[in-house]
Structure 1
């Protein structure tokens, strides 16, 4: 299964629907104040690079990189189509995001994901890619519903 990943410059109805479904999936995982997924409009704001993976013309994966500080970015809105999970789309999107960041000289990538059972596959994906748990970063505070992870990047040689 091969997806085409491109940076999103403008909203499409199909992508907006895909990302709205992401928020709906997260509703049962934590109280509202402990859910940190960005709404679609914020994913198109300056300082955020949104990417979508398409298969047969429909969005099947998303991921974004948001600036935390110079040389440090955060992964936001990682999602794969629930009907296609377990087929490598998440690994493909994560590798794409890490390559994009490294090619721009980003030295550290961090993320916040949930601590609930629902997020076990996501945490396993990030751990397999070399991410390690860390404390809160940026504007985050310690939260029992959150797991914070980080990865040091090495510039391409």
Structure 2
């Protein structure tokens, strides 16, 4: 398997399709008002960078980093295409995002996600990498469904 990870072309129809798929899945899998997945316009906002993992020229996964302030950032919209699950692509993409966050000088990288069986594979990935549950950040509020994870980058 040949994989490359680079800043995503948000005009690419494959990238847009995976973003839309992620948005739909998060809305369907979350209680009303508790899905915070960014759509295409949100991912195009200033302070957000999106990467895509390509396998054999096809978009296999996407992930984004959103600047919160000078010291902290947030992982947004991590999604692996169903055809590429369990191949280490998400782990490689996560490492790229963490590396870029460190290079940008951030001290903490955080994320908000849900609970339940659909979220367990992603949670296992984040926890293996050292993310730990913690306080809500930015505009999030912890609920029975939402949880926030954090990783110190220093």
After TM superposition, where is structure 1 displaced by more than 4 Å over at least 4 residues in a row?
none
Deviation digits for residues 47-78 of structure 1, max 9, x if unmatched? 10111111122211111000122110000000
Q: TM-score, normalized by length of structure 2?
A: 0.94
Q: TM-score, normalized by length of structure 1?
A: 0.93
| 5+ long unaligned stretches in structure 2 | none
State the Cα RMSD in Å: 1.2
Aligned to 1:82: 82
Say whether the 8 Å CA contact 2:10–2:16 is kept in structure 1: no
Shift of 1:32: 3.2
- Does residue 1:105 correspond to 2:105, yes or no? yes
- Does residue 1:141 correspond to 2:132, yes or no? no
Deviation digits for residues 79-98 of structure 1, max 9, x if unmatched? 11112111101100000100
Say whether the 8 Å CA contact 1:29–1:116 is kept in structure 2: no
| 5+ long unaligned stretches in structure 1 | none
- Does residue 1:67 correspond to 2:72, yes or no? no
Counterparts of 1:27 and 1:8, CA distance in 2: 23
Aligned with 2:28: secondary structure?
A: coil
Counterparts of 1:2 and 1:92, CA distance in 2: 12
